[in-house]
Structure 1
Amino acid sequence: MSGLFGTFNIAKRGMFTQQKALDVTAHNIANANTDGYSRQRAKITTTRPFATPSIHNTAEPGQLGTGSQIAAIERIRDSFIDFQVRAESSILGQYSTREKFLSEVEGILNEPTDTGISNLMGEFYKAWQDLSKHPEGSNTRVVAAEKSASLANSINHTYGQLEKLKENSKELTRSAVAEVSALLDQIDKLNQEIMTVNVSGKMPNDLMDQRDMLLDEISSKFNIKIEKSNYEGINLKAEDSNLNMIKAVNNKTEVNRLSYVDSIDAKKDPSTGQYTGDIEVTYYKLGNKLSAENKVTVTLKMDPADQNEISRIKKELEDSRVIWTNVNGEPVDDNGVSLGTIDSVTGELNLDPTKSFNTSLFKPSKGELKGLMSINDDIQKYENDLNRLAKSLAWSVNAIHTKNIDKNDQILFFVNKDGGSEDDINASNIAVNPEIMKDVMKIFVGSSKESGESDNERALAIAGLKDTILMIQDIGSDIKTREDLIGVKGSNGFDTAPNEFFIKNNVKGMKMDAYFKNMVNKLGVDAQEANQTAKNQRKLLASFEESRLSISGVSEDEEMTNLIQFQHAYQANAKVIATIDELLDVVINGLKR
């Protein structure tokens, strides 16, 4: 209604409105340094005016207003910048992980240094060259044996350190999976609270800030896709998958999580060394190894005749180590179809024979998990390179050391210290024969067992391996034995003149020291790429975060200006009430006089 009491109500509403605006300003100032906080703004609108003129009310010059009100408390946020920040966070998570691990691999290889493999290979060749000059002496034999042992030990140690680093990457993968599960549970809980508050007509700004912080955090683990739903709820998926991780309508049967593959054991026939077709896989639900109830085992049955397929499936599992599971911990494919059921007593997964377990593998294209998966593959490649180097060294030296020696009298210079065959020598087990280390006079230096003191042909040939070109890169694929390398497949063989112990060059191969240097150079390029990409991503992400702060961050100067503005408006409304009070006093008490 109009009149003095109507004006009084307008001023009263104005005071309440300015007070609420002061509350919002005070909240902003209080959270000026709160991580993830988005500044809020009171949206002030007019209240419903007096009705239009009719036969029931008096016509007036204009539609008279009735004051102001707080229509909403808005959160100042730019969703497009949030999208950019999260997309770049995924890329940074991937390359910062690669940067860290590749830097550690560089430290393990320790090249170029006086104690690195390259330098020890040089000393190895030099020791054999010195032995060829003094074949009659025991001192040069001792040096040759010791330098050979030092090289073998260094290869062993390097391989062992790479294995430890690979185990570390696996543990970090498990930890990341467990962390993702915890983050998803928190986001899901906040999601439901936000919708509950929003249904009641209020805007849960602070809860939405908390949810956005968690979304920022999880985006560094892998690239995410957010779909907005009713009542400020969201559906959350991995960008590379169709499976729901968070669902606005809290239907648990449609929600999926990640689990960690702890071990992959591809069974082999000890007599043939071939895969039997059984791959035993153990995984832990949600990456939680603290409880035995979370452990699930499954045996994959494959065709033993298809050795390449078994090897491929095994490698895919080792490279990823993360699978999709439903709420029961059963693996699912990308359409959410369960691949089997878990026996509640034994904890074994009864796999559907028509399904492939590998369809449950989680393969993100970006993020920390992608970085860990790629680094595990990279480390395996470096280990394979070391294995080829160890095999080429052992096989070539052994070929020269045993050539033209009766089989009963042959002594391998390099052996498998684990007790396996020469064919199974690799970077982890290569060692100088203990017989030779005990008695260096068992080193064959000359052309035959009965050769004279000046005969140095065999030692000279081993020293000549420095310049020998071998098919090292084919070891493990086409070349699986010493005979393959120094024979038909390797196309090397022995020379006939002037020294029949020299191994012939194969122009399609490479020298051993060059092969190792190529490995180190590739590592350097990979590390530099990861370092530069991570550096660029940090700058780009910082610029996006600065843009987000310029929009959502609290400016204390701006808030102080608003504080003064709302304070003056509050005082003005109070003055209106005081004026109305005086006018009412005139009307009520003045009429008596």
Structure 2
Amino acid sequence: SVNQTGMVGTSKVEVGYDKTTGMVDGVKVGSKTLTDYKFSGELSGLINSFGYKKADGTIGGAYPDMLKKLDNMTAAFVNEFNAIHKQGYALGDGNQSVLNFFEIESGKSAAQSIKVNGEIIKDPSKIAAGGKSGGASGDNENAKLLADLKKKAFSEYSTKDQNSKELTGSFDTYYAGIIGKLGVDSQSAQKNLSNSVVLATSVNQNRDSVSSVSLDEEMTDMIKFQQAYNASARMMTMMDEMLDKIINGMGTVGR
């Protein structure tokens, strides 16, 4: 940048963070504040990867988007799993289970805080694996329903909510899609980096070919000038010999 005195300098870059979400909520370059993040370079890549707060208050970025999808998937899966678990019977129990198999800590995301119910960890016999009252030994009908849940389409969930409505496919395919997209995005970023490096190298080479010294050209000029010097030296030698002959040789005629 150039200031009012004509001095060339650099602008100070400041990155602001939202204290609640930890996301970038503004970038200040000199006296100008940027909120659209429509710029390039390493800084832009880091901001778009780790997350930023948009002007409308929503969160954007590669990692936040992926974590949101994981949270929605986990919450929908937990709700359906717990609902099926409560339809079953624990070993020797004549009543359907009232226990949730999974628990999610209040105030935390589902993917971050999912855990098995503490009562089930203490006493695994409370797992409602049976499909009939009494929970006879060997009755695993409800356990099969629980196991099949990972391949069950979200559209078939009995506990449909906002989380499951935004999901497509099954738990297996949706999770594979998230990981697959992450891999594709990573590969795309690496290719873009490689292409940028090649382009920058080409630009530098073209610039050097115009502004830098060409050793081949300089060597050619040196040989050319050397040959010209040798030719001039021979010409001077010839002129010296000719004058010497005229003055010293022809000057004795008539004596």
Q: TM-score, normalised by structure 1?
A: 0.31
Q: Structure 1 residues 558 and 325 mapped into 2: Cα distance closer, same or farther (>3 Å)? A: closer
Give the AA of the match of 2:2.
I
Q: Deviations over 1:499-540 (max 9, x none)?
A: xxxxxxx9x831000001111221232223223333333333
Secondary structure of the residue that 2:154 maps to in structure 1? Answer: coil
Q: Name the counterpart of 1:249.
A: 5
Aligned to 2:37, the other structure's residue is in SS state coil
The equivalent position to 1:438 in structure 2, one of 122, 146, 153, is 122
Can you list the C-alpha shifts for 1:407-437, whole angstroms capped at 9, x where unaligned? 9962221113xx427xx55111111223222
Q: Kindly provide the amino acid, as one letter, of the partner of residue 442 in structure 1.
A: K
> May I ask how many residue pairs the two structures share in their alignment?
214
Q: Which residue of 1 aligns with 2:45?
A: 371
The CA deviation at 1:551 is 1.3
Query: CA–CA distance in 2 between the matches of 1:404 and 1:458?
Result: 6
Distance in 2 (CA, whole Å) between partners of 1:557 and 1:324 is 45
Matched, 1:457 2:134: no
Aligned residue number for residue 55 of structure 2? none
The letter of the residue matching 1:363 is Y
SS at match of 1:536: helix
Q: Which of the numbers 176, 180, 191 marks the counterpart of 1:517?
A: 176
- Which residue of structure 1 lines up, in the alignment, with residue 201 of structure 2? 542
CA contact (8 A) 1:392 1:512 kept: no
Write out aligned runs for 1:41-120 (5 A). none
CA displacement, residues 224-251 of structure 1 (integer Å, 9 cap, x when unaligned): xxxxxxxxxxxxxxxxxxxxx4337348
| C-alpha distance 448-555 of structure 1, shift in aligned 2 (>3 A) | same
Percent identity for Structure 1 against Structure 2: 25
- CA 518–442 in structure 1, closer or farther in 2 if over 3 Å, else same: same
What stretches of structure 1 of length at least 5 have no aligned partner?
A: 1-244, 267-313, 327-331, 334-359, 473-484, 493-505, 576-593
C-alpha contact (below 8 Å) 1:446/1:457 kept by paired residues: yes
Matched residue of 1:455: which SS? coil
Counterpart of 1:260 in structure 2 is 15
Structure 1 or 2, whichever has the larger Rg, is 2
Cα separation, 1, equivalents of 2:152 and 2:18: 39
Partner of 1:412: 100
CA distance in 2, matches of 1:427, 1:258: 35
Matches within 5 A, 1:177-576: 245-247=1-3, 249-250=5-6, 256-261=11-16, 263-266=17-20, 318-319=23-24, 321-326=26-31, 332-333=32-33, 360-361=34-35, 363-376=37-50, 377-403=61-87, 410-416=98-104, 419-420=105-106, 426-447=110-131, 450-471=134-155, 486-487=158-159, 489=161, 509-559=168-218, 565=225
Asked if the contact 2:88/2:128 (under 8 Å) is kept, the reply is no
Deviation at 1:462, TM superposition (A): 0.4
Q: State the alpha-carbon separation in 1 of the partners of residues 128 and 67 from structure 2.
A: 31
Question: With structure 2 as the length reference, what TM-score do the two structures score?
Answer: 0.66
Aligned counterpart, 2:58? none
Q: Deviations over 1:87-137 (max 9, x none)?
A: xxxxxxxxxxxxxxxxxxxxxxxxxxxxxxxxxxxxxxxxxxxxxxxxxxx
Root mean square deviation of aligned Cα: 3.9
List per-residue Cα deviations over 1:241-284 (Å, max 9, x = no partner).
Answer: xxxx43373489xx8532122x3134xxxxxxxxxxxxxxxxxx
Q: Is the alpha carbon distance of 1:408 and 1:321 closer, same or farther for their aligned partners in structure 2, counting shifts above 3 Å?
A: farther
Q: Which residue of 2 aligns with 1:53?
A: none
The whole-number CA distance in structure 2 between the counterparts of 1:407 and 1:374 is 52
Structure 1 CA distance for aligned equivalents of residues 196 and 11 of structure 2? 30
